[in-house]
Structure 1
Amino acid sequence: MIAFREVDDADPALVFSPLVRGMEKTFAWVDEHGGISLTPSRAFKRVFVHWAAAEFDWPGHTEADLFAVNKVLNEPDFAPLMVLHDLMIAMKLGRHYKGEFRPTKAGQALTGHPGRIFGTVVPFFLFRINHASMSRFEDAPILANWDVFLNVLNAETEDGATGGHLRRVLFGAPETGPLPRYDEVMGQLYIQVLRPLCWAGLLQQERAEAGYRSEEAMFVKTPLWRAALRLETDGKVKGATRH
Structure 2
Amino acid sequence: MIIKCISIDDEYLATKVLESHLNEIPDFKLIASFSNPLEAISTIENEDINVIFIDINMPKMNGLDFIKSINTKAHFVITTAHREFAAESYDLNVVDYLLKPIAFSRFLKATQKIKNLFKPDFPQDYGNSEKTSIFIKVDKKHVKVKFDDIFYVESLKDYVKIFTKTGNYLVHKSLTSLEEELPTEKFLRIHRSFLISLNEVEFIEGNSIQINKKRIPIGRKYAETTKNILLDMNE
Q: TM-score range by the shorter chain?
A: under 0.3
Higher RCO (CA 8 Å, separation ≥ 6 residues): 1
More helix by share: 1
Q: TM-score, normalised by structure 2?
A: 0.28
More strand by share: 2
Q: TM-score, normalised by structure 1?
A: 0.27
